């Protein structure tokens, strides 16, 4: 295992105090902090070789293009893609999933076709398919989850049929943390000739990812959830499918040639990246991937498991005052825990934790149907990453003990509704 205290030295923000308390940052499922190395890589680009890519023969443009293209190679290696040509840079997971829905779905779905998604979806892997289905006359069908927050595979097998053209699902839930069996789902989709689309936002940053073993057709993930900059993400897709897709967004750098009568599209991945890309973002994301590679993704995964196990151990001390959403086995979930404190609104708990220096997420987490299925309007979510410690988890448990002891008083405080967010 890596030395967590040494890792923390790379994140100056962790030395901050919030409301006079040392910052404990447990909102990593929303966005992670950035190490000095990533910030420095982005700064070097802007300070020393800032230029547009693929548009000039001058030195700065050549240097920028080289770094930008190398970033694709770094990302391809990280997920064991067959080629860097399969790595399409997008703004984030949502953008990547929309690219698949509109770029592939709009041209391949027909009236009467079916798209299968789950009740577990983040809105970003549900709403694009609903929009496209409505446009073309296809139908979206939903697979439920169990009381424990596990995907109902028996129902999935019943729902998937010869009418199914797409099976889209979260590789790991951003609420209950459940890690889904991607290969099983992919094989089921392929058995009826459908494509399998994985929302990897909560999976790729936490679990060693091998796209060849997973057998999916598309995976989208965000850089900012894995130590990288905001505004950059990756859509990985099978090369043959990416080549067959008509570009969803067109314009600069998507073409080789244009006449008044025709267009010759660019090679992969550039035909799917219109206009000036987020060059600095890709360079920063590549540096984040190098950082995670040095730590070792297997160790990143084990670190998550240890923190979740410590959380559940602490929750046992709190008894029935804590209601956990999702499975309680750390081995089948990622490094996050969503819960509620009995008789307290989730926003009230989140604000009380903030007063104690602990940053968590509260609300529906852009997964409202899942919350409703489990009987909640929202939850408190503590999510961990490589710089979090067991000591922080213990401080978190002590903070919850204090909040529970003040529950009667806190319950009388007005609840300020805030954005329910990711």
Q: Which CATH class is domain 4-30+296-410?
A: alpha beta
State the DSSP code for 414: P
Own/partner long-range contacts of 46-49 (Cβ < 8 Å, ≥24 apart): 46/280
Record the pTM: 0.96
Report the pLDDT value the prediction gives residue 416, as an integer from 0 to 100.
Answer: 66
| pLDDT tens, position by position, 296-323 | 999 999 999 999 999 999 999 999 999 9
Whole-number Å distance between alpha carbons of 124 and 170? 10
pLDDT at 53 over 70: yes
Q: At what angle do helices 390-405 and 297-318 cross, to 10 degrees?
A: 30
165 token code pair: 């053209």
Report H helices in 229-364: 239-244, 279-295, 297-318, 346-355
Nearest Cα to 399, choosing from 416, 380, 385?
380
Q: Where in the chain is the domain with CATH 3.90.1150.10?
A: 4-30+296-410
Task: Please give the Cα distance from 294 to 273 (Å, whole number).
Answer: 29
With beta carbons less than 8 A apart as the criterion, state whether 382 and 314 touch: no
**Is residue 42 predicted with pLDDT exceeding 60?**
yes
CA distance 98 to 126: 10
| pLDDT confidence of residue 421 | 47
Every domain range in the chain assigned CATH 3.40.640.10: 38-294
Question: Of 75, 175, 195, 366, which one is the catalytic site residue?
Answer: 366
Say which residue the tokens 């930008």 belong to: 68
Residue 419 a catalytic site member: no
The answer to whether the peptide bond before residue 286 is cis (omega within 30 degrees of 0) is: no
Structure tokens of 180? 């889904």
CA–CA dist 371, 358 (Å, integer): 23
What pairs with residue 166 in β-bridges? Answer: 115, 195
**Domain spanning 38-294, CATH class:** alpha beta
Whether the per-residue pLDDT at 419 is higher than 60: the answer is no
Query: What's the rounded mean pLDDT across residues 133-154?
Result: 97
| DSSP per-residue string spanning 77-122 | HHTT-S-GGGEEEESSHHHHHHHHIIIIIHHH--TT-EEEEETT--
Q: What's the average model confidence in pLDDT over 104-128?
A: 97
For residue 420, the model assigns a pLDDT of: 46
Residue 249 · residue 90 · CB < 8 Å: no
């Amino acid at each position: 295992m890596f030395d967590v205290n040494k890792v923390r030295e790379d994140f100056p923000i962790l030395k901050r105090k919030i409301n006079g308390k040392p910052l404990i940052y447990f909102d990593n499922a929303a966005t992670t902090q950035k190490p000095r190395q990533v910030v420095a890589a982005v700064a070097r680009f802007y300070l020393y070789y800032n230029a547009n890519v693929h548009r000039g023969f001058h030195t700065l443009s050549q240097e920028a293009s080289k770094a930008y293209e190398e970033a694709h190679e770094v990302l391809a290696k990280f997920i064991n893609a067959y080629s860097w040509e399969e790595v399409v840079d997008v703004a984030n997971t949502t953008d990547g999933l929309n690219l698949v829905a509109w770029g592939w779905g709009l041209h391949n779905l027909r009236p009467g076709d079916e798209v299968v998604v789950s009740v577990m979806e983040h809105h970003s892997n549900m709403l694009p398919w609903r929009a496209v289905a409505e446009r073309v006359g296809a139908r979206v069908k939903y697979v439920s989850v169990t009381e424990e927050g596990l995907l109902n595979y028996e129902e999935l097998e019943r729902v998937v049929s010869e009418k199914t053209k797409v099976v889209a699902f979260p590789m790991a839930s951003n609420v209950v943390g459940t890690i889904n069996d991607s290969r099983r789902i992919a094989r089921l989709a392929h058995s009826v000739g459908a494509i399998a689309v994985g929302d990897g936002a909560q999976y790729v940053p936490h679990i060693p990812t091998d796209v060849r073993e997973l057998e999916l057709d598309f995976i989208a993930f965000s850089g900012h959830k894995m130590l990288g900059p905001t505004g950059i993400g990756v859509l990985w897709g099978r090369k043959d499918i990416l080549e067959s897709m008509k570009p969803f967004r067109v314009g600069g750098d998507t073409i080789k040639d244009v006449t008044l009568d025709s267009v010759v599209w660019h090679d992969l991945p550039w035909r799917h990246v219109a206009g000036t890309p987020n060059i600095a973002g890709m360079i920063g994301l590549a540096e984040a991937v190098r950082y995670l590679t040095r730590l070792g993704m297997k160790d990143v995964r084990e670190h998550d498991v240890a923190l979740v196990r410590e959380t559940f151990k602490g929750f046992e001390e709190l008894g029935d005052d804590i209601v956990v959403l999702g499975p309680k086995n750390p081995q089948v979930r990622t490094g996050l825990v969503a819960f509620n404190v009995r008789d307290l609104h989730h926003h009230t708990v989140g604000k009380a934790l903030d007063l104690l220096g602990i940053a968590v997420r509260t609300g529906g987490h852009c997964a409202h149907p899942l919350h409703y299925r489990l009987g909640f309007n929202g939850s408190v979510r503590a999510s961990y990453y490589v710089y979090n410690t067991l000591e922080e988890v213990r401080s978190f448990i002590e903070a919850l003990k204090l909040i529970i002891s003040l529950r009667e008083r806190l319950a009388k405080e007005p609840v300020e509704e805030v954005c329910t967010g990711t």
